[in-house]
Amino acid sequence: MKILLLGSGELGKEFVIAAQRIGQTVIAVDSYKNAPAMQVAHGFEVINMLDGTELDRIVAKHKPDFIVPEIEAIRTERFYDYEKQGIIVVPSAKAANFTMNRKAIRDLASKELGLKTAAYRYATTALELQKGVEAVGMPCVVKPLMSSSGKGQSTIKTTDDIEKAWQYAVEGSRGDVVEVIVEAFVKFNSEITLLTVSQNNNPTLFCAPIGHRQERGDYQESWQPARISDQDLYEAQDMAEKVTEALGGAGLFGVEFFLANDGVYFSELSPRPHDTGMVTLAGTQNFNEFELHLRAILSLPICSITLEKAGASAVVLASQNSINPTFTGLEKIAALPKTDFRIFGKPSSRPYRRMAVALTNDTLETPIEEITERAIQAAALLKVHS
């Protein structure tokens, strides 16, 4: 089978590796040369994926069996035409189109499916944002409708923050949609990602919940399993199954939730492997999230997902702009027990760009806080240099 991968970051790279291991051909696409997934794919294309004509051109050129989106900045409305041509869009054209835009997925979850979410409003101008803030109250969170890894996300605590939040959201937005969502701040106790696997003609499966901590809207550490009550887990699984069934198709979804005193709140959904799910590279499961995504796409039956170990991941961030960054500390981190790491191979760096990840694991009886702290300490040994 031939797979056209739209977006070639670190998540795409691990997906390509998983695909190659079971004999699939992957063409990696992104807006810049030498992106991580391009380094391991069978071929690559460099285009602006918001240019529908260019997208049509490479689809016609490569004639893929599957189109697998990895990022948001894609002319996703073209996906419906590709499905009509007999190409399988992952998880489906509807799922990819809805989830690449926070407005579509939030309205589906809240208005159509009745899932519990934070109060929210949309805004296309700073004035509309001000009215939205008045409606949901402060503090509140502002996000671009199209973005990833926390880009453009900020918290409004006073009216003085509104204009700055608007400008930051517009600057951090991907694509050509100049619109934001403002959400009431949920007083949550913790956040989880529930990796949810939709299969063709087989039951929906769930990975053990993953906890994570964020800064600037981007994850810093994740750990599996996360502590969660049986009732909260049941609620989260029920919501995840409802929303993934409504979107249709097969593949792995990263479904995010807030856990609060008054129950579980649906937050966001990604129709692909999730950054917090990189913890599964630590050997926590019988299949990592990239292998699960691939097997579901190919309709290879997944009998069960089993939790094998407890694990954690911690990111390694760049601190400055550079071309062809280098790393030190490999010998130190390699010497640590029950520890591994991945350097993504990004050709350039900028402040706060995620460049690598440290991975730790231990027995399921080991306190997850201890394993996570080891991941943080391991990540601190890897240094990014210009």
Please identify every residue annotated as catalytic.
148, 150, 256, 268, 275-276, 354
Using DSSP bridges, classify how beta strands 140-144 and 154-156 pair: parallel, antiparallel or unpaired: antiparallel
**CA 74 – CA 78 distance, rounded (Å):** 9
Closest CA to 179 of 103, 104, 99, 124: 124
Cα distances from 370 to residues 181, 229, 361, 376, in angstroms, run: 36, 21, 10, 10
Amino acid type, 190: S
> Phi and psi (nearest 5°) for 251?
145, 180
**CA 25 – CA 64 distance, rounded (Å):** 9
Peptide bond into 225 cis (omega under 30): yes
Per 3-state DSSP, the chain is made up of helix, strand and coil in percentages (nearest 5) of: 35, 30, 35
Cα distances from 306 to residues 92, 206, 290, 381, in angstroms, run: 26, 10, 15, 31
Q: Using N-to-C axis directions, what is the helix angle for 161-172 and 126-136, rounded to 10°? A: 120
Q: CB within 8 A of 221, min separation 6: which ones?
A: 212, 213, 312, 313, 314, 315, 372, 375, 376
Amino acid type, 385: H
Q: Give 281's DSSP letter.
A: G
Amino acid type, 352: Y
**CA 164 – CA 353 distance, rounded (Å):** 22
Q: Give the other-Cβ count within 10 Å of 168's Cβ.
A: 18
